[in-house]
């Protein structure tokens, strides 16, 4: 499982020109499921995202997590995170989870994030979405449950 985590002042998902969901201060999490992902992968990503110390403390040092500052999370499924463009110019998505499997993993991940008590908003799996964000910093972190990078 891969995630791109961006600290935002606000973020939203629109579908067919209408805002589907939005958050204020928090994290925009683009989430991609890899073939064979399990609850262990979900737990790893959830714990990392919720615990990332990427918010400034009183001294201006990145020492606080989203849980410490009370922000929200917007989770958007994005299978293209598993694209492999090392050969040629057309990415291969062979490692991305098949849609039925990936939807189940995405739904499990959303429920797992909700169990933390953090306010969670989502996009719609396999929908064509317009994602808008006002990045804060900018601060963007890449996560991979298999620790590929």
Q: Is 126 a catalytic residue?
A: no
Determine which one of 6, 38, 67, 78 is catalytic: 78
| pLDDT band of 149, cuts 50, 70, 90 | confident
- Of the CA atoms within 13 Å of residue 25, those in its CB half-sphere come to 11
Q: Which domains does the chain have, with CATH numbers?
A: 2-144 (3.50.80.10)
Q: Is 80 a catalytic residue?
A: yes
Q: Is 140 a catalytic residue?
A: no
Determine which one of 38, 39, 80, 126 is catalytic: 80
Report DSSP state, residue 108: H
| pLDDT band of 148, cuts 50, 70, 90 | confident
Tell me the mean pLDDT in the region 65-78.
97
Could you report the per-residue pLDDT of 7-24, keeping only the tens digit for each?
999 999 999 999 999 999
Q: Count Cβ atoms below 10 Å from residue 89 Cβ, excluding itself.
A: 5
CB 1, CB 144: distance < 8 Å = yes
pTM of the model: 0.96
User: What angle do the packed helices 39-51 and 99-114 form, to 10 degrees?
Assistant: 40
């Amino acid at each position: 499982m891969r995630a791109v985590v961006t600290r935002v002042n606000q973020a939203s998902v629109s579908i067919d020109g209408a805002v589907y969901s939005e958050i204020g201060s928090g994290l925009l999490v683009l989430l991609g499921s890899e073939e064979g992902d399990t609850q262990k992968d979900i737990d790893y990503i959830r714990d990392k995202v919720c615990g990332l110390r990427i918010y400034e403390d009183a001294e201006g040092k990145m020492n606080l997590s989203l849980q410490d500052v009370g922000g929200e999370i917007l989770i958007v499924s994005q299978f293209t995170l598993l694209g492999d463009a090392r050969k040629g110019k057309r990415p291969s998505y062979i490692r991305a989870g098949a849609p039925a499997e990936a939807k189940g993993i995405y739904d499990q991940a959303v429920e797992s994030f909700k169990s933390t008590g953090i306010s969670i908003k989502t996009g719609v799996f396999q929908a064509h979405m317009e994602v808008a964000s006002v990045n804060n910093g900018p601060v963007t972190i890449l996560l991979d449950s298999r620790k590929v990078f």
